[in-house]
Structure 1
Amino acid sequence: MDENNSSTEEINFAIKIPEVSKDRVLLMNQKISEPPRILSNGAGKASCSIFRVPKSLIEVNGKIYQPHIVSIGPYHRGDPQLKMIDEHKWRYLGSLLARTEKTRGLKLEDYLIAMAELEEKARECYSETIHLNSDEFAEMMVLDGCFIIELLRKAANLVLFEPDDPILSMAWIIPFFYRDFLRLENQIPFFILEKLFEISESKSKEPGLTLLALQFFDNATQRPEGVIEKHQDLKPRHLLDLIRLSLIPRSHPEPRSRRKTPAHIIHCVSKLRRAGINLRATEEDTFLSVKFQGGVIEMPPITIDDFTTSFLLNCVSFEQCHKSCTKHFTTYATLLDCLVNTYRDVEFLCDRNIMENCYGNDGEVARFINNMGKDVAFDIDMCYLADLFDDVYQYYRNSWHVQWAGFKYTYFDTPWSFISAFAALVLLLLTVAQTVYTVYSFYKP
């Protein structure tokens, strides 16, 4: 017993307990207690709607998510390349204040007080912690919000542009506004705009903010007459969400429950045509209204240009980040990615008036569409086109359709292939006739 106890004491004596740095423990506890800043705890709430675009999407699509001429909100506030329009924001704010002080007796303090009352609610809309004090935050909301509202009123001729206003006289500026106002990182909450619009509203009745915004962006979206008026009652989270919601067809809601049988991704245009599935342009209020019936995919036309590419990518990014919004644009981007593999698929869609290419050559459009679907989370069984995906897949699997369509595609797709097939058929018939005549003459000379 004595020998065992002594050996145990020797072992315990040999074990050295490492010392822990008190400063390290203090630093770790401090980091544990600090809330996240880059992606705050509130980013997962339904109230949060303005996000930084995920780095994985930026690596694929480049700088298309960043504003090029004007900053709205905190994420790009103070960027050196955006200072030119920042100076004009103050000019527009001054003209708005001069008008409302004269008509309604309102001063700058009234606007700042209104923003201070909404500060907490507005901060919750951003996925990052905004490192501005209350005064700076209220100033930013007033300056950016009043600039947008004043521009919308001037574009609708409710307020006159000043003589020689460069924003109007320089033709290149307004198209950049269309794109920059609809970038995910470049937003302020819509209820902020509504409050500023309400405060600065003139006594004479004017269109609502939603209608003014839709009319402003209609110069870029170019929708049929009368479509915009249908969306005056929308409740968007910001300007990007407003235009996105106005394009979502009410006749194509997302399913509420998962399908009993899983849907499948479909093939590209070239393979679908070989299987007897055709594509046809159709007239609808929005390009998202895609249908499949009678072996034909009906797609409303879409113009691929600088505005559309920027808008589509930012809508997809918003749907990837916001947990409560529908995924209509993600689904449409996936559909295009399925249909287009090479420039030949783009060429066919353009020939059928489904796509108008104002972006570049057909190869560049194909690359854009393929990149649009990269690193994007997509649930095919819960998307608004789940039935279409499955119907096209089942039609494609039908062997009779595939064989007959493949025969027509090979021999009757072009006039030359038809002539070659017809000539081969005539030659075959002549050969058979000659053989029959030879055999007949042999037995009955």
Structure 2
Amino acid sequence: MMFVQFTMLTLLLENQIPFIVLEGIFECTISKFDQTAILIDVIHAVLEHVNPFKENKLKRTFSSNTTRHHHHNHHILSLLHQCYEYQDAKSSEFSNSRFPSAVELDRAGVSFKRARDTEWPLVMEVKLRRFPYFSFSWGKPTLIMPELDINDFTELVLRNLIAYEQFSANVTQYITSYAMAMDMLIDTQEDIAKLVESKVLVNHIG
């Protein structure tokens, strides 16, 4: 229970402190009892525990050296955000026109499938089944989406990542874009049920 409370506190935007301060605290506490412990490994274990996209393991996009050289810009929330960055991401704008909900897309013949082994954990793309030996597509389209694990941490993690994106300069708004896309897809409980049925949403809150 204490670990859960500690994890939730470390992810709040208002609780973020520079990495150099975390290193000082770590050296005065955990390092004294376990000299083999490494701060980055401890942080990564915590972040993996609260990662709402369980199907995709968090990539180690940071190391002790990178955080040490940029300690004024790094904290736990920024390190988590780095795990969702995509090198080849392209900027886009959402249309002001209404986007169909999950149920409406299903009625139109679109199926939903959770993404597996993707380079980017937040990938959303439409795929058409191609007919063998021919160049044309066949069958109904499939919307590939990340599997979102709904647990005690999910709302807190997403809300604070969005807040971090909104109040940080030169930070790509990956999580904000994902949240907007999900908001378009979900209008009713039926939309949620459809995504749960498709295993795009996984509920672990009872």
Cα offset for 1:331? Answer: 0.2
The match for 1:239 is: 76
- Are the equivalent residues in 1 in contact too, given 2:127–2:143 (CA < 8 A)? yes
Using structure 1 for the length normalisation, give the TM-score: 0.37
Shift, 1:216, TM fit? 2.5
Which structure: greater helix fraction?
A: 1
Counterpart in the other structure of 1:211: 41
The answer as to 2:125 corresponding to 1:288 is: no
Give secondary structure in 1 for the equivalent of 2:184: helix
- 1:302 alignment partner AA: L
Match in the other structure for 1:313: 159
Contact 2:114 2:199 survives alignment (8 Å)? yes
Of structures 1 and 2, the larger Rg is shown by 1
TM-score by length of 2: 0.74
Give 1:288 deviation, angstroms.
Answer: 1.1
Q: CA deviation at 1:215?
A: 1.2
Is 179-188 or 288-297 further displaced after alignment? 288-297
Higher normalized strand content (fraction of residues):
2
Taking only the aligned residue pairs, the percentage that are identical comes to: 24
Q: Supply the AA of the counterpart residue of 1:248.
A: E
Please list the CA deviations of residues 311-342 of structure 1 after superposition, one character each: whole Å capped at 9, or x if unmatched: 00111111111122110010000010000000
Is the alpha carbon distance of 1:237 and 1:264 closer, same or farther for their aligned partners in structure 2, counting shifts above 3 Å? Answer: farther
Q: Which has the higher contact order (CA 8 A, sep 6+)?
A: 2
The Cα offsets for residues 177-204 of structure 1, whole Å up to 9 and x where unpaired, read as 22111011111112322355468757x9
**Aligned residue in 2 for 1:326:** 172
Unpaired segments of 5 or more residues in structure 2? 68-72, 129-140
**Structure 1 residues 277 and 300: alpha-carbon distance in aligned structure 2, compared to 1, 3 A threshold:** same
Task: For residue 228 of structure 1, report the CA deviation from its aligned partner.
Answer: 4.5
| Residue 136 of structure 2: aligned partner | none
How many aligned positions are there? 183
Q: Aligned AA for 2:82?
A: L
Residue pair 2:59, 2:83 contacting (<8 A) in 1 also: no
Paired residue secondary structure (2:46):
helix
- Measured on the aligned residues, the alpha-carbon RMSD in Å equals 3.1
Amino acid at match of 1:319: E
1:10-409 correspondence to structure 2 within 5 Å: 172-197=1-26, 206=36, 208-221=38-51, 223=54, 227-228=57-58, 230-233=60-63, 235=67, 237-251=74-88, 253-255=89-91, 266-284=99-117, 287-294=121-128, 295-359=141-205
